[in-house]
Amino acid sequence: MTQDELKQAVARAAIDYVVDGEIIGVGTGSTANFFIDELAKIKQRIKGAVASSEATAARLAGHGIAVFDLNDVAEIAVYIDGADEITAAGAMIKGGGAALTREKIVASVSKQFVCIADGSKLVETMGKFALPVEVLPMARAAVTRQLAALGGQPKLRLKPGTDQAFITDNGGMIIDVAGLAISEPVALEQRINQIVGVIAVGLFAQRGANVCLLGTPDGVRTLTF
Ligand SMILES: O=C[C@H](O)[C@H](O)[C@H](O)COP(=O)(O)O
């Protein structure tokens, strides 16, 4: 099975977690895109969706799914999104697609977080995938120094094929921190959140996943936390 087939399988399985008549929180990335395409097939069952990025909002709207502003929604029944790494305890690294801040906000008002990922994303210790941190542009250098002091190798994310900084949907920049073996994800998330100028860190440990649907060649494996 290809990686795309594994992603498609978990996207299909995630439909079982969609709550009829509700507004669904929808993540960002290649796995989330497969999920949006599956959601489109049952769109008459839901009221609409809240998107975690402009790209997701556009894909949802392209399928004719109503996209709600989070300010008009008090609570979301379920949030469905991918991850770059996930542990057996449900903690995740997210933000490979630069949507971490909005993902964290949507996840924070969602009753249930269902993570969908191919099996390669399950790790014992997070940190092989460089940890994304979104920062205010004026704080870029100051935050970079503090992230280096934590023992990582921070690197400004660039717009592909250019030497210009990548700019997020929120007008922020992303610093990817390599070389952190994340043995205490909750403590590290709290520590990085305390750095002035950080908008959000792509560690989802304080609010991790409730369920993870993992795509494997033997079928979809369900982990609950
Ligand atoms: O910012 C992007 C998100 O956190 C994605 O959910 C994450 O990067 C996983 O993306 P993909 O499903 O493309 O591997």
Please tell me whether the interface predicted TM-score (ipTM) of this complex is above 0.85.
Answer: yes
Region 47-68 average pLDDT: 98
Q: CA of 147: how far to CAs of 16, 79, 127, 211, in Å?
A: 40, 29, 14, 30
Contacts of 165-169 spanning 24+ positions with Cβ under 8 A:
165/137, 165/140, 166/98, 168/98, 168/99, 168/101, 168/134, 169/53, 169/54, 169/98, 169/99, 169/102
Q: Which CATH architecture has domain 3-123+206-217?
A: 3-Layer(aba) Sandwich (3.40)
User: pTM (2 decimals)?
Assistant: 0.96
pLDDT(46) > 90: yes
Say whether pLDDT at 181 is over 90. Answer: no
pLDDT tens digits along 129-167 = 999 999 999 999 999 999 999 999 999 999 999 999 999
Does 189 qualify as catalytic in the annotation? no
The residue extents of the domains of the chain are 3-123+206-217, 131-199
Q: Tell whether 4 is in a known binding site.
A: no
When the candidates are 3.30.450.20, 3.30.70.260, 2.40.50.140, 3.30.160.270, the CATH number that belongs to 131-199 is 3.30.70.260
Is the shortest distance between the CB of 31 and ligand 1 below 6 Å? yes
For ligand 1, atom 7: residue with the closest CA: 83
Which of 3, 5, 8, 28 has the most ligand 1 atoms within 8 A of CB, as the residue to mutate?
28
